[in-house]
Amino acid sequence: MGIDFQNVEFKYSKKASKKQLDNINLHIDAQDEFIMIVGHTGSGKSTLVQHMNGLLLASSGTIKVFDTNMIRSKKIKLKPVREHVGLVFQFPEYQIFESTVLEDIMFGPKNFGKTKDEARELAIKAAHLIGIKDDILERSPFTLSGGQMRRVAIAGALAIDPDILILDEPTVGLDPKGKEELMNLLVRMHEETHKTIIMISHDMNIVATLAKRVLVMDKGKLVYDGNKENLFQNQTFLKTHNLDLPTASILAMGLKEKGLITYGKLPLTKEELFQVITGDIPNE
């Protein structure tokens, strides 16, 4: 179960010399994974995740998503795949179109054959999970703020109740507070439901705090697949693939250079840095 990629290659057209995806091998479990995909602009991150729910189909190689072979054929049924794997695009607030928030969240489940009452139940559950208050549900989505609209859009994907939820840069364009709130909600949701979450992100601080597994894409190739600690230890690797360090790590390295602190393992988050400096676990 889950998602399996084997020697996957993708080009926009047969004649194109540039491979958007180049020899990708990958397995993602249907439960308990929290994966961050990082990489430079144009490295193929979005192309990769679009293969996971059949928006794009591979030029060669095999992709298996929950027992469905994703091949280019007229008989292929993509709808069941999309029920298992939810995808939330960048700036998802643009996909909202219904007249009330609740109706818009119900749109997904209704498309997958749920009755009105079932859809309403799923929608309310998803709304609570992502922190949408009841009094907003009957309002028009177009009167909401950007952060709230984004939550509504993510709730729309959650209401389908997918096993795997993919988010393409969910925090881009939000203010710092909105960013943190959204990330905390996603983490809480992950802990409650054990759904696999795959997230594309440019923000190394988020990667350093949350990721259980990191995938690094560069020029269509999957160049790293593993935990975050090993990734951030290897400075030369980060440099060759144009990746940044988390802010806390940069600060820690600066302090070490001045001889102010010493550490065995590079601190990645501000909590870890705090611990290195004071020797204490932050109580706040």
Q: Which residues bind another protein (CB under 8 A)?
A: 12, 50, 53, 55, 78-79, 82-83, 86-89, 92, 94-97, 107-108, 111-112, 142, 156-157, 160
Is 39 in a helix, a strand, or coil? strand
Angle, helices 116-129 vs 146-158, to 10°: value is 130
Is 161 strand, coil or helix? Answer: coil
- Per DSSP, the residues of 264-283 read SS---SHHHHHHHHHSS---
C-alpha 178/C-alpha 124 separation (Å) is 21
**Closest separation in Å from C-beta 92 to another protein:** 7
CB 184, min distance to another protein, A = 24
- Identify which of residues 160 and 216 has a Cβ nearer to another protein in the complex: 160
Is 169 a residue of the active site?
yes
**What is the rounded distance in angstroms from the CA atom of residue 117 to the CA atom of residue 108?**
13
CB nearer another protein, residue 112 or residue 237: 112
Q: How far is the CB of 247 from another protein (least distance, A)?
A: 31
Angle at 210 between CA 206 and CA 215, to 5 degrees: 85
Closer of 142 and 227 to another protein (Cβ): 142
CA gap 217, 46 in Å, rounded: 10
Q: What are phi and psi of 57, to 5 degrees?
A: -120, 140
Q: How far apart are CA 9 and CA 19, in angstroms?
A: 7
Query: Cβ 11 to another protein, closest distance in Å?
Result: 11
Choice among 33, 103, 169, 272 that is catalytic: 169
CB-wise, 170 or 267, nearer to another protein?
170
Q: How many CB atoms lie under 10 A from the CB of residue 212? A: 14
CB closer to another protein, 79 vs 128 = 79
Least spacing, CB of residue 165 vs another protein, in Å: 11
- What value does the CA radius of gyration of the chain take, rounded to a whole number of Å? 20
Residues forming the active site:
169
